[in-house]
């Protein structure tokens, strides 16, 4: 099954066995790619030679900080991928954790780790924005 077939599927076929296999494979691929990217960042950081010029050292330090932030964001994705794969095994994948409504194939193709439907995610983000605004 490919993306085109997923998008053309009937609503009655939502999260059938074939679709679950597709998303499990996609999540496993995403996990592998993410771990590879983290390893590449670490390798690059370890391979950076020491520089004697103060400006070069400052630039290298800034680049290292950016690389660490990127690696940390990627590291945080791994548990989300694992949780999504667990939802596949439990039969909950593709359904909003809050409402139980289908998340939708299009959204899952874009973000296979999605836990909420678009409506709930929008409301949650609005609440977060209001909370952050009040705490400033």
pLDDT in tens, 73-84: 999 999 999 999
Q: What is the mean pLDDT of residues 81-100?
A: 97
- Write down the architecture of domain 3-135 according to CATH: Up-down Bundle (1.20)
pLDDT score of 133 more than 70: no
Q: What is the mean pLDDT of residues 116-121?
A: 94
Give the residue with greater pLDDT, 110 vs 57. 110
In this structure, the number of other CB atoms found within 10 A of the CB of residue 29 comes to 12
Distances (CA, A) of 118 to 21, 87, 125, 130: 23, 18, 10, 18
**So what's the pLDDT on residue 63?**
84
Structure tokens at 31: 């996990």
Burial label for 72, CB within 10 Å (0-12, 13-18, 19+), is exposed
Q: Is the pTM of this model over 0.75?
A: yes
Give the residue with greater pLDDT, 24 vs 51. 24
pLDDT score of 85 more than 90: yes
Give the domain ranges of the chain: 3-135
What is the C-alpha separation between 136 and 21, in angstroms, rounded? 45
Mean residue pLDDT of the chain comes to 90
pLDDT in tens, 8-40: 999 999 999 999 999 999 999 999 999 999 999
In this structure, the number of other CB atoms found within 10 A of the CB of residue 49 comes to 5
**So what's the pLDDT on residue 42?**
86
């Amino acid at each position: 099954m490919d993306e085109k077939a997923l998008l053309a599927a009937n609503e009655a076929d939502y999260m059938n066995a074939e679709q679950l296999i597709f998303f499990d494979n996609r999540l496993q691929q995403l996990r592998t790619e993410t771990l590879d990217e983290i390893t590449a960042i670490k390798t690059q950081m370890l391979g950076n030679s020491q520089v004697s010029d103060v400006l070069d050292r400052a630039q290298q330090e800034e680049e290292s900080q950016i690389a660490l932030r990127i690696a940390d964001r990627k590291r945080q994705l791994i548990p989300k991928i694992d949780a999504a794969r667990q939802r596949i095994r439990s039969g909950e994948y593709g359904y909003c954790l809050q409402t139980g409504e289908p998340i939708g194939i299009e959204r899952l193709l874009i973000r296979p780790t999605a836990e909420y439907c678009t409506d709930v995610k929008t409301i949650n983000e609005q609440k977060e924005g209001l909370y952050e605004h009040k705490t400033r």
